[in-house]
Amino acid sequence: MDFKIITDNKQLSEELAELLEDKGELCLTLTLPLEKLNPLREANERKLKEAIERASLYNENPESTNRDLIDSLLKKLTECTTKIDWLHVPQGIGLYISKKNARIYNFDFTPAEKIIWSDRFMLRDVMYQLQIDQPFLILTLTETKSCLFEKQFGEWKKVSDNEINRDYTDNYLYEKPSRSTSHAGSSHVKSFERDPEILETAHRLPHLLKIKQHLKQYQHLFRPLVIIANDRLHHEINFSENSHDPIIKISKDPSHYTPAELGEIAIPYVFKYVEEKIERLIAEWNELVGKGFTRSGLQACWRAANEGNCKILLVEFGYAKPGFLLVDPFYLFLKPPAATHTTLPDAVDDLLKTVLNKGGTVFFTANDLLTTTQHVALITRY
């Protein structure tokens, strides 16, 4: 399955594709916020045990027909919890259990507590984690050295490219200008000396231009380049060919930082870049209103997504709403109809999956940012 949530976390991306395909049989979704600091951190393990106990109550539900399957899934759930490091906990965890899958994920945000038995997984939190894992490159520049870093398997490592990762030495021989002889006449009235900084900049420019040329193979619209250098080097060369190039500039001397520390420095700037990108998409949606290329509200977005007419979907992260279907899968009811119907515990989650399955792109926004569009907005393909 080819879906578009841009991420550096390729393993999580592939596993999300598997979870999207896992439907039809009983699935358990359990998400839980955790406390990172003592003394509240000590209650995390107890909170998870209580959540598992609440999940096991489903076996006592009169509508539960396959109790053996429920027992086996609860056993897999308990086995999954033994892999959690309670001393180094994230802000939240998600457990996704079915006959085919038993996954546990760490979240870098605080998820809502959910325990949902359904014929498919509720995957909004995994999708949001992928959005948080915005891929980016880091280029460090000093007067004597340049290095390019990328994140590989959770660690920042230097890219193997000697055309970019190189030392620079200005090897010109400086000789102070001397006054010309009296025989030169008025053509050489007096000597002058150029500013040494101007000479250094002129000599360093070909080196920077070579780096800029070789960077093009690593850049694309979905992966911003973070350049960490002092103000002087930022002014010497512009790495952006046009205003649409995703370039993030940080004015700081990178000489004394490890790759991991450089990543920590860059993350707040990258988060701001993602927020600004979402703001631009909302502005684009507003500009398209009245031209037939926008939909707002869950029902209208549901129909467009199922028709395959969704280019970009914007949805508030905390927006959830149950839905109901009759025979026509293109029409979503927001209240239970009188006829026999199918209940969707979270129609927004199903909308996200439909958009991804049909090649659309999903972006989550902050809560209350899309109140004028009923918390969900869509830009159509045609």
Give per-residue pLDDT as tens, 60-100. 776 667 888 999 999 999 998 988 888 888 899 999 999 99
Structure tokens that stand for 296 in this block: 């707002």
Task: Kindly give the residue spans of alpha helices, DSSP state H, lying in the chain.
Answer: 10-21, 44-56, 67-81, 124-132, 196-215, 231-236, 259-288, 298-306, 347-357
Please indicate whether residue 1 or residue 228 has the higher confidence score (pLDDT).
Answer: 228
What was the pLDDT predicted at 92? 93
What was the pLDDT predicted at 194? 58
Q: What is the DSSP string of 118-159?
A: EEE---HHHHHHHHHS---EEEEE-SSEEEEEEEETTEEEE-
Name which of 4-13, 128-137, 373-382 the model is least confident about.
4-13
Res. 332 pLDDT band, cuts 50 70 90? very high
Q: Running DSSP on this structure, what letter comes out for residue 82?
A: T
Reduced DSSP (H G I as helix, E B as strand, rest coil) percent helix, strand, coil of the chain, to 5: 40, 25, 40
Looking from the CA of 298 toward its CB, the CA atoms found within 13 Å total 19
Characterize 224-239 residue by residue with b for buried, 16 or more Cβ atoms within 10 angstroms of its Cβ, and e for exposed. Answer: bbbbbbeeebbebbeb
Structure tokens that stand for 227 in this block: 């350049």
In angstroms, the CA 328 to CA 34 distance is 41
In angstroms, the CA 46 to CA 10 distance is 32
In angstroms, the CA 257 to CA 236 distance is 23
Q: Which residues contact 57 (CB under 8 A, 6 or more apart)?
A: none
Percent of all residues in the chain with a pLDDT value above 70, rounded to a whole number: 87
Residue pair 222/229 in contact by the 8 Å Cβ criterion: no
Strand arrangement, sheet containing 294-296: 294-296, 376-379, 312-316, 361-365
CA distances (Å), origin 169, targets 55, 144, 172, 204: 65, 6, 9, 9
**Superfamily of the domain at 1-133:** eRF1 domain 1 (3.30.960.10)
Please indicate whether residue 281 or residue 15 has the higher confidence score (pLDDT).
Answer: 281
Provide CATH code, domain 137-276.
Answer: 3.30.420
pLDDT mean over 289-311 = 95
| pTM reported for the whole predicted model | 0.76
- At 2-36, the pLDDT tens digits run 333 434 455 667 788 889 888 888 999 999 999 98
Q: Running DSSP on this structure, what letter comes out for residue 193?
A: -
Q: Which CATH architecture has domain 289-382?
A: 2-Layer Sandwich (3.30)
Q: For the chain, what are the domain ranges?
A: 1-133, 137-276, 289-382
What's at 313, amino acid-wise?
A: L
Place of tokens 């490159």: 137
In angstroms, the CA 182 to CA 178 distance is 12
Q: Running DSSP on this structure, what letter comes out for residue 370?
A: S
What was the pLDDT predicted at 64? 67
Please indicate whether residue 288 or residue 274 has the higher confidence score (pLDDT).
Answer: 288
What was the pLDDT predicted at 42? 84
Mean of the per-residue pLDDT values of the chain: 86
